[in-house]
Amino acid sequence: MELQENQTYTMIAKVESINHGIHFCNTTVLTTEGEHVNLKLDFDQLPLIAMGKAYQFEALAVIKIEDELILKCTGIKPAEDVLKNEELAKVFEQFYVYAPMPMMDIKKTIETFMNDISNPVLKAITTTIYRSHEQAFYIHPAATKFHHAYVGGLSYHTMTMLKLIDPFVVIYPYLDRDLLVAGTILHDMSKIDEISGVDGEYTTEGQLIGHLVMQTSEIDRVADQLGYKDTEEVLMLKHMIVAHHGLYHFGSPKRPQTGEALLLWYLDTIDSKLTVLGEALETTAEGAFTSMISVLDKMKFYKPKK
């Protein structure tokens, strides 16, 4: 990068390293143009960045010593706060191992299901919560290591579960499709606050409360704001969220006691396990067994010969 004194530069870049000591503080970033750039930071800017995350950086070229120009960081914003969806999709697909399909395709599918919700209470609550987390939802992992643990994994996991709903509703028509769609879209939404992001660390709130309880609290808060707090729909939706891990020893505060809650648990289990199995089989030779798979009780699975 050719620098000119007192010129301000704006770049979208991913943090590659963070270095600081008693008298210095800087970060090296990888830009969308493929350049490695060193930015000098103030110490109060350190909490604004994290390893592996993408930001929009603003930096001023200033003279340090002997006419050497350096870049002094003057502004930091998360990439998802400044880029439009299409631009953000390109950036994250460039910087990270993303979900198996483009972000905009995942988004279109999820929003189609959401817009099809006919119950006004469920639609209002789901849409309000979704819109408040929309940007982060499409770049967040679904877990730290067990399943969909990559950028975009949360939304991809949600989309796959949504696609499984209609075949079950056709066979079991007593199930409430609106409730299933709303519960599926929201069931893991609080993982955005439970897991810190691409670095895969659990937050303090995530460790002490967990996404099931966190999401139930958010539904309560939004329902109260919208005037729906004491409705049957809200009660059913909250039950789905707190019961979607199915069993107490899987961290579920309640066991499923409605058909929709039971199916949500099964859909979550199906996708989290079969997706991981498919990924393992991709790297397994025909006629051989996979390595042990954690989410499948550490069992090995055979890949048949064609």
Domain CATH for 69:
2.40.50.140
Side chain identity, residue 213: V
Query: Do residues 66 and 90 share a domain?
Result: no
In a domain, 149, yes or no: yes
Q: What separation in angstroms does the CA of 93 have from each of 97, 132, 148, 198?
A: 7, 23, 15, 13
The tally of domains found in the chain comes to 2
Q: Are residues 35 and 143 in the same domain?
A: no
92 and 200 in a single domain? The answer is yes
pTM recorded for the entire structure: 0.80
Q: Is 159 within the bounds of a domain? A: yes
End-of-domain residue from the set 81, 112, 142: 81
Q: How far is 56 from 197, CA to CA, in rounded Å?
A: 17
Q: Are the C-beta atoms of 204 and 210 separated by less than 8 Å?
A: no
Asked if 155 and 276 sit in the same domain, the reply is yes
Give the pLDDT of residue 96: 79
Please report whether residue 139 resides in a domain: yes
184 and 208 in a single domain? The answer is yes
* Residues 93 and 224 reside in one and the same domain: yes
pLDDT tens, the chain, 306 aa long: 677 888 899 999 999 999 998 888 999 999 999 999 999 999 999 999 888 888 999 999 887 766 678 899 999 998 888 888 788 878 887 887 777 788 889 999 999 999 999 999 999 999 999 999 988 888 877 665 555 667 788 999 999 999 999 999 999 999 999 999 999 999 999 888 888 766 567 888 888 998 899 999 999 999 999 999 999 999 999 999 999 998 888 888 999 999 999 999 999 999 989 998 998 998 999 999 999 998 899 999 999 998
303 lies in a domain?
Answer: no
| Whole-number Cα distances in Å, 234 to 11, 64, 149 | 44, 60, 30
Tell me if 296 is assigned to some domain: no
What's the rounded Cα separation, in Å, for the pair 103 and 117?
A: 22
Do 96 and 73 have their domain in common? Answer: no
The verdict on 60 and 92 lying in the same domain is: no
> Looking at residue 70, what is its pLDDT?
87
- How far is Cα 177 from Cα 284, in angstroms, rounded to an integer? 37
* 81, 97, 115 - which closes a domain: 81
Count of alpha carbons within 13 angstroms of residue 289, beta-carbon side: 7
Q: Is 187 exposed, middle or buried (0-12, 13-18, 19+ CB in 10 A)?
A: buried
Let me know if residue 292 belongs to a domain: no
**Residues 119 and 37 reside in one and the same domain:** no
Task: Supply the pLDDT for residue 168.
Answer: 97
Same domain for 94 and 145? yes
Q: Are residues 230 and 101 in the same domain?
A: yes
pLDDT score for 142: 64
304 located within any domain: no
Task: State the helix-helix crossing angle for 120-137 and 103-115, rounded to 10 degrees.
Answer: 170
Q: How far apart are CA 262 and CA 253, in angstroms?
A: 14
Tell me whether residue 227 is in a domain.
yes
**Pair (134, 277) in one structural domain:** yes
User: Which domain covers residue 147, as residue numbers?
Assistant: 85-282
Domain boundary among 60, 81, 102: 81
